[in-house]
Copies of this chain bind each other. A is one copy, B any other.
């Protein structure tokens, strides 16, 4: 596709006629803002257009087609560590859907909502708390301002039994490159009553092709909400022996598969937990990286962190939760399980408060405070806390209030292999990645998440200081080698950013060729997000 400045200029004028002048940005400051990234390098858009309705999106894509301008839709652009708001290449026009933030419907009888791509998870949580407190949303750790639709289309996941976000969508509205508006499932049928309660509709089930692709611009989704359970209990466990990781996974897997446990279960290593609580101890390490073993042990002790720590939740009637707790405890023996619910939390707070009067509970106060956002996430309340974790490798004093990782120099690249839910595979993943992190001077923070009954997603990442050129270069090299080695070892990622797209292609050529044929059918001129996932 040829694109020249004249055509871009004409397109921008036409965009202004659609969305109004203030909602088309092409000034230097705005473009720089959208170019910010947590990766080694962001890309710079040619312009930004901010529609407020699906109908405007239709007109925008038609204009783009006419002037041969490439569009890169973002929901809110909070795709931190996976490309952020940046298109894979410079010069695309960002379609920022942030203004399409209407909560279109909350259905309290059938427990779902219909939302636009601009709806923030904090916004929906607040709305539900006020208007439908019996309904619970599944949130990610990406902060209160992250888009639910954006996360869902990238197949993100959270913490509750509704943790697999795409699995809990029901019906999409999609604008295709030629301006066609497609409603999927029974939403396609005028007057059908099951558009938000039955995903497949009749005929081919299309929703899946609009995830992790560039086939259309999703302007609305139905999302199932979980009825707030009568009872809730978080559970936590911690093991201090490296060999126990395998055992605990193999012990949890049957519980997940039998349906005893239904929430996503996260098992994080010490580095993941410590990095979320504090910054790299530059002074104590004498500037050395990666974190020396002795210091790592010390940090574990100081922060009350085990080598591997697990967390999940139990939801149901009071009787059911009680019974499940009993069985979980028995099944994981000798590993000790700690249960925590709101009643216990309040009690612990009171006890710690009392101890504090005697100056005895300083560590405990921090531990309790750290627990709060975890309990919140497990119960559908998003929090900005996890965002702070990305600052681990930054040097010097930080502005604690600045939560946007793009603005504090934090570098972040996720590598997220999918593996069978076996201890043996977890071990192999660790053996694959740990030497790579070490060789490049980075730590290996990782969380294994039991995302369904048979698979885990390993969420690991390179934290780096983007203000340090050498470290940034090493981070990029480290990430490259991580992703490639994981694919080679049989563990391709569940999701990736611009740095990973190209690596997916060679090992699955036939698949991408077919995906390319579908792309061509829906967007022959490659107007939408060229380079996103597809070759």
CB pair A258–B316 under 8 Å, yes or no, is yes
Give every chain B residue within 8 A of A455 (Cβ-Cβ). 194, 197-198
The residues in A between 189 and 224 inclusive whose CB is less than 8 angstroms from any CB of B are 189-194, 196-213, 215, 224
Give every chain B residue within 8 A of A194 (Cβ-Cβ). 418-420, 455, 490-492
CB pair A258–B421 under 8 Å, yes or no, is no
Chain B min CB distance to A457 (Å): 8
Is A110 engaged at the interface, CB distance under 8 Å to the other chain? Answer: yes
In-complex Cβ contact of A510 among B183, B419, B510 (8 A): B183
Which of the segments A22-30, A319-327, A383-391 contacts the partner chain? A319-327
Is A513 engaged at the interface, CB distance under 8 Å to the other chain? Answer: yes
Please report the total number of A residues contacting B with Cβ < 8 Å. Answer: 96
Give the distance in Å from the alpha carbon of A512 to the alpha carbon of B201 in the complex. 12
Give every chain B residue within 8 A of A189 (Cβ-Cβ). 487, 490, 492, 507-508, 511
Is A246 engaged at the interface, CB distance under 8 Å to the other chain? Answer: no
CB pair A515–B420 under 8 Å, yes or no, is no
Chain B min CB distance to A210 (Å): 7
Give every chain B residue within 8 A of A209 (Cβ-Cβ). 204-206, 208-209
CB pair A205–B211 under 8 Å, yes or no, is yes
CB pair B211–A204 under 8 Å, yes or no, is yes
Give every chain B residue within 8 A of A198 (Cβ-Cβ). 418, 451-452, 454-455, 494
The residues in A between 258 and 293 inclusive whose CB is less than 8 angstroms from any CB of B are 258-260, 262
Give every chain B residue within 8 A of A418 (Cβ-Cβ). 186, 194, 197-198
Give the distance in Å from the alpha carbon of A495 to the alpha carbon of B198 in the complex. 13
Which of the segments A67-75, A95-103, A338-346, A517-525 contacts the partner chain? A517-525
Chain B min CB distance to A235 (Å): 16
Chain B min CB distance to A73 (Å): 15
Give every chain B residue within 8 A of A112 (Cβ-Cβ). 454
Give the distance in Å from the alpha carbon of A230 to the alpha carbon of B331 in the complex. 14
Q: Mark A89-120, 1 if CB is under 8 A from B, else 0.
A: 00000000000000000000111100000000
Give every chain B residue within 8 A of A181 (Cβ-Cβ). 510
Give every chain B residue within 8 A of A492 (Cβ-Cβ). 186, 189, 192, 194, 201-202
In-complex Cβ contact of A161 among B161, B259, B487, B534 (8 A): B259
Give the distance in Å from the alpha carbon of A215 to the alpha carbon of B204 in the complex. 9
Chain B min CB distance to A196 (Å): 8
Is A33 engaged at the interface, CB distance under 8 Å to the other chain? Answer: no
CB pair A490–B224 under 8 Å, yes or no, is no
Chain B min CB distance to A456 (Å): 9
Give the distance in Å from the alpha carbon of A533 to the alpha carbon of B205 in the complex. 12
The residues in A between 441 and 456 inclusive whose CB is less than 8 angstroms from any CB of B are 451-455
Is A493 engaged at the interface, CB distance under 8 Å to the other chain? Answer: yes
Chain B's closest residue to A228 (CB) is B258
Is A128 engaged at the interface, CB distance under 8 Å to the other chain? Answer: no
The residues in A between 219 and 255 inclusive whose CB is less than 8 angstroms from any CB of B are 224, 227, 229-230, 254
Chain B's closest residue to A194 (CB) is B418
Chain B min CB distance to A491 (Å): 6
CB pair A316–B260 under 8 Å, yes or no, is yes
CB pair A212–B208 under 8 Å, yes or no, is no
Chain B min CB distance to A325 (Å): 11
CB pair A491–B326 under 8 Å, yes or no, is no
CB pair A515–B204 under 8 Å, yes or no, is yes
Give every chain B residue within 8 A of A488 (Cβ-Cβ). 191
Is A149 engaged at the interface, CB distance under 8 Å to the other chain? Answer: no
CB pair A496–B202 under 8 Å, yes or no, is yes
5 example contacts (A-B, Cβ-Cβ < 8 A) are as follows A189-B487, A189-B511, A193-B490, A224-B454, A259-B315
**Top 5 nearest A-B pairs by Cβ distance?**
A205-B208, A188-B511, A521-B521, A197-B454, A188-B508
A interface vs B, CB < 8 Å?
109-112, 155, 161, 166, 170, 176, 180-184, 186, 188-194, 196-213, 215, 224, 227, 229-230, 254, 257-260, 262, 315-317, 319-320, 323-324, 326-327, 418-422, 425, 451-455, 487-488, 490-496, 504, 507-508, 510-515, 517-518, 520-522, 533-534
**Sample of 19 further A-B pairs with CB below 8 A, known A197-B452, A224-B453, A323-B323:** A166-B205, A176-B514, A186-B492, A188-B508, A194-B455, A194-B490, A194-B491, A196-B454, A202-B492, A202-B493, A202-B495, A202-B496, A206-B515, A208-B209, A227-B254, A229-B258, A317-B327, A320-B323, A320-B324
